[in-house]
Amino acid sequence: MLTLRPFRDPDWAGVWPVLQATFAAGETYSFPPDIGEAEARKTWIDVPMATFVAEEDGRILGTYFIKPNQPGLGAHVCNCGYVVAAGAEGRGIAAQMCEHSQRWAVEHGFLAMQFNFVVSTNERAVRLWERLGFSVVGRLPGAFRHRRLGYVDALVMFKALATGEARETVYHPPP
Amino acid sequence: MLTLRPFRDPDWAGVWPVLQATFAAGETYSFPPDIGEAEARKTWIDVPMATFVAEEDGRILGTYFIKPNQPGLGAHVCNCGYVVAAGAEGRGIAAQMCEHSQRWAVEHGFLAMQFNFVVSTNERAVRLWERLGFSVVGRLPGAFRHRRLGYVDALVMFKALATGEARETVYHPPP
């Protein structure tokens, strides 16, 4: 049975190989493909507000972090990164992690969630985030140097979270 | 005469009040309005690749930083932040700093420049960046909590830099 729970220190031995394989592929995350373990740990565990793991029978099948996307006056919008272990795709683990992260975000006062850099060729991810209520709100031309495909676009995706609270929002239409 | 030159340590005494006043206003940057001096210095000086000042007769009238916007596979796109001292607006200092930063970026191998969080109500800035060749490529609904106006949109702006080099770019049209 798959369990989503907070990262604990002994989990790192299972988290690091999952991150390393994902980053080394150079197809979905901008982290250097040859990133070192210490740097990866800093990024995934130390800097974020919280990190979670998806565990099944003692194996780490996925992990995600959550943090404010901006400091101060932008800190009501959070940012997450999700990774699923090779061989564990197609089981809905990313979707479960994303829904878990949205609940956690609402509980901690966030009003929205933003993904800054969804690689446009990662079509499975784009479709999944759209199914979960995210919209493409920006497109960064050639911003990702895909290891196989060369320069490809990255997408900015955004979702207002259902917080149950009205908020005063001043929208400014495009000029 | 206005000079643009690299930040040197003694400049901090002139840079910090300019940053502090800008961040305290809470209208253009997401840094906490009550940000401390050490945190501001870390963000503006230590983290970036380089920081520059616009100096006139020993006074700091503006400053900007430049850094990669993403690590690794996104590090060919740079990011900058610019601040002009109160009372020095309208003299073209921001434009000069932005043009200076673009030249510096090209010299250091960057292929594009991205602003992640241009506050939509900062119309002077939006118009200036557009005049300097940037396009609005994204719109983040209500992502900035403006001190006077409440939640307003933030814009993502982007410019491919004229590097003189052809680059292999694979563009993926929107779905």
Q: Mean pLDDT throughout B69-73? A: 97
Mean pLDDT check: name the lowest of A133-137, A158-162, B46-50, B51-55. Answer: A158-162
CB contact under 8 A, A172 and B156: no
Which positions ≥6 away from B74 have C-beta within 8 Å? Answer: A30, A117, A143, A144, A145, A154, B68
pLDDT bin (cut points 50, 70, 90) of residue A172 is very low
Q: What is the full DSSP assignment across A115-157?
A: EEEEETT-HHHHHHHHHTT-EEEEEEEEEEEETTTEEEEEEEE
**Residue-wise pLDDT tens digits, A113-146:** 999 999 999 999 999 999 999 999 999 999 999 9
Q: In angstroms, how far apart are the furthest CA atoms of chain A?
A: 54
pTM for the whole structure: 0.93
Partner residue opposite A26 with nearest CB, options B69, B73, B143: B73
| Distance of alpha carbon A9 from the chain centroid | 20
- How close is the nearest chain B Cα to the Cα of A46, in Å? 17
**Residue-wise pLDDT tens digits, A67-122:** 999 999 999 999 999 999 999 999 999 999 999 999 999 999 999 999 999 999 99
Mean pLDDT check: name the lowest of A76-85, A132-141, A160-169, B90-99. Answer: A160-169
CB contact under 8 A, A140 and B144: no
pLDDT bin (cut points 50, 70, 90) of residue B162 is confident
| pLDDT score, position A164 | 65
ipTM over 0.85: yes
Q: What is the C-alpha separation between A10 and A12, in angstroms, rounded?
A: 5
Chain A residue at shortest CA distance from B148: A170
| pLDDT score, position B75 | 97
HSE-up (13 A, CA, CB side) for residue B83: 26
CB contacts under 8 A, B 5-34 vs A, are: 23, 26, 29-33
Partner residue opposite A144 with nearest CB, options B73, B137, B167: B73
Using a CB–CB cutoff of 8 Å, tell me whether B71 touches chain A. Answer: yes
* CA dihedral sign of residues A136, A141, A146, A148: positive
Residue A49 exposed, middle or buried by CB count within 10 Å (0-12, 13-18, 19+): middle
| pLDDT score, position A173 | 47
Residue to test with chain B: of A73, A126, A145, A155, most B Cβ within 10 A: A73
Answer whether residue B175 shows pLDDT above 50.
Answer: no
Q: Mean pLDDT throughout A142-160? A: 97
